[in-house]
């Protein structure tokens, strides 16, 4: 490992992505990426009595699928890094309580998947782990109930709002393998743009994405065209446009090879999802399904994956607080 | 670093605890450890308009105090690992949003302080960081409101219940220094004993503490008398007694040199705190204040610090779920 610039680390022994898996809900099944998901559900309950229990089952089965694909016995997994959006991250802790693997709970809101990947990469590169699991989940119904209003109210959603993805993504990271590899990590700082509208998460998080992306470019000396594709998750349509402008103000043009997982997962016109998808499960499932597939089939060779999180809760918004954002980035190369 | 047994790592380059700091509330000020805290508050608000804002201020000022004591500029801190009990960990993210340091949100309930220390130690031993901050907080009023009932109701508390500590602890870990040092880490697995009573956290978490402590002894070949003191945080009186019995069933006697931070922080008889203290801020402030003082003055030379967390939320209890526990351990030696 070699530190470059202020906060980027080049992994001289790149970390192997041994397998990925993703399971998503019915709305995601109807979206444009449906063929890339390992499993899609017919309803939001999956046979459970509550949405929270369904979300736990989704992350549990997603991790089981990633493990099965990897061919690695769970006894050979050193650590599990996982988190979600539910209060006290209960989707992860209940879903993975029987895993029997040393467990690190992680909270970075929708940045959790990449935060977990960075922590797992450091543990592998640092010699502490040979194999590690990363996982995160979200659920539309449990998230709406917790962050906004009971679904039964049928509240109208403003155009800036994003639709929380029902789904989970998981990956098994290993010390060795055939790739794709995590080749660099850029952990992010908290950035608060002063936005107070809890229905404009994309706007609130764009500044954090800008900060981490610019940091990554300056630290590495790379420009956007180094990458075949840059993905954020999840700024949605509005945050994506803001980010393009913010990054441009530093002299970098990402317009040609940049997209957002929240934009990709739903069909905005047909699915009434306003500014796009969001939630810990969005970038987790879009990466584990679509992006990883593109890497495996060499349609993409170099990807910068930037996960963004809004570090607020329902109480902080009610108390008039602004929304701090964070963004964590990893590069993935063949 | 050298892995011993199944899940313990001996740090061949021990991580230095450069400084610690703790700020606690008025009830903790009235407790037996009052003289070890850096600052104690006159009321639960500290000039803020809400308990959540007060908790954010406590963790912010605690980190600032630890930094000031360390003599290290914040620009020389590589990472911050922090978390708390509030939904979506807003105490940490709001309290530390201006820190301008790459930030990892951590959630391990009351195990967060040691989980953060393990992650920070891996990042330092692995060469990623020279200095890192660990911090966690809790607040009696914000926790009661969120996990149980509004304080205004004046609900009666059962004898098994614990009193959430208002306070925060923080430490600065560094690659080099004069000690005390973190010499080994034993990250824990999730253990669910099937206990469903959200007012008996100590009982619910005792099995996780047992699992990690026995793992640590078996991995290292050590027996309890290797340590001058073993501390858990926070099992309280009831969980402490259960743990002594559970550990004894494996042939280890910890009765003579073991105590719990939740037992130490309050005077049970005078302060009406039932089974003792709890909360992310309990072990964080008791370690950063009392235990670190004992290490500095060589009254203790070898300590095993085991933080325990109950990985549930209010909704999971209402849905009839049991309470998964976790425990993370570090040894600290001069």
pLDDT tens per residue, range B212-264: 999 999 999 999 999 999 999 999 999 999 999 999 999 999 999 999 999 99
**With a cut of 70, which residues of chain A have pLDDT below it?**
none
My answer on whether omega of the bond before A234 falls inside 30° of 0, hence cis, is yes
Q: How many beta-carbon contacts under 8 Å exist across A and B?
A: 177
DSSP class of residue A154 equals -
How buried is residue B249: exposed, middle or buried, by Cβ count under 10 Å (0-12/13-18/19+)?
Answer: exposed
**pLDDT of A12:** 87
pLDDT tens per residue, range B109-156: 999 999 999 999 999 999 999 999 999 999 999 999 999 889 999 989
- The answer to whether B88 contacts A109, with C-beta atoms less than 8 Å apart, is yes
Mean pLDDT to the nearest integer, B203-211? 98
CATH number reported for the structural domain that contains residue A34 in this entry: 3.40.47.40
**B260 beta partners:** B232
Which of A109, A143, A174 is the last residue in one of the domains?
A: A174
| Domain enclosing residue A164, as ranges | 2-174
pLDDT tens per residue, range A286-306: 999 999 999 999 999 999 999
Angle between helices A51-70 and A140-147 (to 10 degrees): 140
CB contacts of A10 in chain B (<8 Å) are none
Identify whether residues A251 and A271 lie together within a single domain.
yes
**pLDDT of A43:** 97
Structure token digits, residue B54: 């007060």
Identify whether residues B31 and B163 lie together within a single domain.
yes
**Using a CB cutoff of 8 Å and minimum separation of 24, what contacts does A142-148 make?**
A142/A51, A142/A52, A142/A54, A142/A55, A142/A85, A142/A86, A142/A91, A143/A85, A143/A86, A143/A279, A145/A51, A146/A85, A146/A86, A146/A87, A146/A314, A146/B87, A147/A85, A147/A198, A147/A313, A147/A314, A148/A198, A148/A314
Domain tally for chain B?
2
Closest CA to B99 of B73, B129, B127, B70: B73
ipTM of the complex: 0.98
The distance from CA B308 to its chain's CA centroid, rounded to whole angstroms, is 7
**pLDDT of A272:** 94
Give the count of beta carbons closer than 10 Å to the beta carbon of residue B28: 29
Calculate the dihedral angle through the C-alpha atoms of A206, A212, A213, A217, rounding to the nearest 10 degrees.
160
Residue B104 pLDDT > 90:
yes
CB contacts of A313 in chain B (<8 Å) are 86-88, 90
Q: What whole-number distance in Å separates Cα of residue B66 and Cα of residue A152? A: 48
Q: What whole-number distance in Å separates Cα of residue A292 and Cα of residue A44? A: 25
Among B3, B98, B107, select the one facing A105 at the smallest CB separation: B107
**pLDDT of B314:** 94
DSSP class of residue A2 equals E
Which of B155, B174, B193 is the last residue in one of the domains?
A: B174
**For the stretch A119-143, what's the b/e string if a residue is b when 16 or more beta carbons lie within 10 angstroms of its beta carbon?**
bbbbbbbbbbbbbbbbbbbbbbbbb
C-beta separation of B29 from B41 below 8 A: yes
User: Would an 8 Å CB–CB cutoff place B314 in contact with chain A?
Assistant: yes
Give the position of tokens 């009392």: B290
DSSP class of residue A87 equals G
C-beta separation of B113 from B307 below 8 A: yes
A329, closest residue in chain B (CA to CA): B102
How buried is residue A50: exposed, middle or buried, by Cβ count under 10 Å (0-12/13-18/19+)?
Answer: middle
Percent of chain A with pLDDT over 90: 98
User: Would an 8 Å CB–CB cutoff place A121 in contact with chain B?
Assistant: no
Would you call A141 helix, strand, or coil by DSSP?
helix
- The answer to whether A313 contacts B87, with C-beta atoms less than 8 Å apart, is yes
Identify whether residues A229 and A322 lie together within a single domain.
yes
Q: What whole-number distance in Å separates Cα of residue A46 and Cα of residue A55? A: 9
CB contacts of A1 in chain B (<8 Å) are 126-128
Identify whether residues A248 and A121 lie together within a single domain.
no
Which of B 174-213 lie inside 8 A of A, CB atoms? 187-190, 192
Q: What whole-number distance in Å separates Cα of residue B331 and Cα of residue B302? A: 7
pLDDT tens per residue, range B36-55: 999 999 999 999 999 999 99
Angle between helices B140-147 and B51-70 (to 10 degrees): 140
Which of A174, A208, A232 is the last residue in one of the domains?
A: A174
Average pLDDT across chain B, whole number: 97
Closest CA to A273 of A139, A121, A158: A158
Identify whether residues B84 and B228 lie together within a single domain.
no
**pLDDT of A109:** 97
Plot region of A179 (φ>0 → left; ψ -120 to 50 → alpha; else → beta): left
**pLDDT of A168:** 98
Identify whether residues A124 and A72 lie together within a single domain.
yes
Least Cα separation, residue B269 to chain A (angstroms): 32
Residue B12 pLDDT > 90:
no
**A192 beta partners:** A324
Q: How far are the Cα atoms of A107, A298, B116, B296, B302 from residue B293, in angstroms, in the given order?
A: 31, 57, 20, 5, 13
pLDDT tens per residue, range A33-66: 999 999 999 999 999 999 999 999 999 999 999 9
Closest CA to A283 of A185, A204, A167: A167
Pairing of strands A324-333, B163-164: unpaired
- The answer to whether A103 contacts B321, with C-beta atoms less than 8 Å apart, is no
Q: What whole-number distance in Å separates Cα of residue A297 and Cα of residue A172? A: 19
Identify whether residues B170 and B211 lie together within a single domain.
no
Quick one: which H or E segment has residue B147? helix B140-147
Structure token digits, residue B314: 């209010």
Identify whether residues A187 and A298 lie together within a single domain.
yes
How would residue B189 be classed by pLDDT, with cut points 50, 70 and 90?
very high
Give the position of tokens 């000031």: B68
**pLDDT of A263:** 98
Identify whether residues A59 and A138 lie together within a single domain.
yes
Identify whether residues B207 and B291 lie together within a single domain.
yes
Give the best residue of B102, B164, B307, B312 to mutate against chain A (max A CB count within 10 A): B102
The distance from CA B296 to its chain's CA centroid, rounded to whole angstroms, is 19
How buried is residue B115: exposed, middle or buried, by Cβ count under 10 Å (0-12/13-18/19+)?
Answer: buried
Identify whether residues B243 and B127 lie together within a single domain.
no
User: Would an 8 Å CB–CB cutoff place A296 in contact with chain B?
Assistant: no
Identify whether residues A204 and A94 lie together within a single domain.
no
Give the count of beta carbons closer than 10 Å to the beta carbon of residue A327: 34
A127, closest residue in chain B (CA to CA): B126
């Amino acid at each position: 490992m070699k530190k470059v610039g202020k906060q980027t680390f080049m992994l001289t022994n790149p970390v192997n992505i041994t397998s990925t898996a993703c399971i998503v809900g019915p709305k995601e099944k109807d979206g444009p990426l449906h063929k890339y998901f390992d499993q899609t559900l017919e309803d939001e309950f999956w046979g459970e009595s509550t949405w929270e229990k369904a979300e736990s089952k989704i992350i549990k089965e997603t991790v089981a699928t990633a493990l099965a694909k990897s061919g690695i016995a769970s006894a050979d997994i050193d650590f599990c890094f996982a988190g979600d959006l539910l209060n006290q991250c209960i989707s992860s802790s209940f879903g993975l309580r029987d895993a029997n693997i040393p467990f690190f709970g992680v909270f970075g809101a929708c940045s959790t998947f990449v935060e977990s990947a960075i922590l797992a990469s450091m543990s592998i590169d640092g010699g502490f782990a040979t194999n590690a699991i990363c996982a995160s989940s979200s659920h539309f119904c449990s998230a709406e109930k917790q962050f906004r209003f009971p679904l039964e109210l049928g509240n109208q959603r403003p155009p800036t709002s994003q639709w929380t993805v029902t789904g989970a993504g998981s990956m098994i990271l290993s010390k060795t393998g055939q790739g794709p590899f995590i080749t660099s990590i850029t952990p992010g700082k908290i950035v608060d743009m002063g936005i107070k509208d809890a229905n404009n998460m994309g706007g609130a998080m764009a500044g954090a994405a800008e900060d981490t992306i610019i940091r990554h470019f300056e630290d590495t000396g790379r420009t956007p065209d180094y990458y075949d594709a840059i993905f954020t998750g999840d700024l949605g349509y509005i945050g994506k446009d803001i980010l393009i402008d913010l990054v441009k103000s530093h002299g970098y043009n990402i317009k040609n090879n940049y997209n957002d997982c929240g934009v990709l997962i739903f069909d905005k016109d047909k699915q009434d999802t306003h500014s796009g998808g969001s939630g810990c499960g969005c970038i987790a499932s879009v990466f584990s399904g679509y992006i990883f597939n593109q890497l495996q089939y060499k349609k993409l060779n170099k990807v910068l994956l930037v996960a963004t999180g809004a570090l607020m809760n329902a109480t902080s918004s009610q108390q008039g607080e602004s929304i701090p954002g964070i963004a964590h980035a990893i590069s993935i190369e063949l």
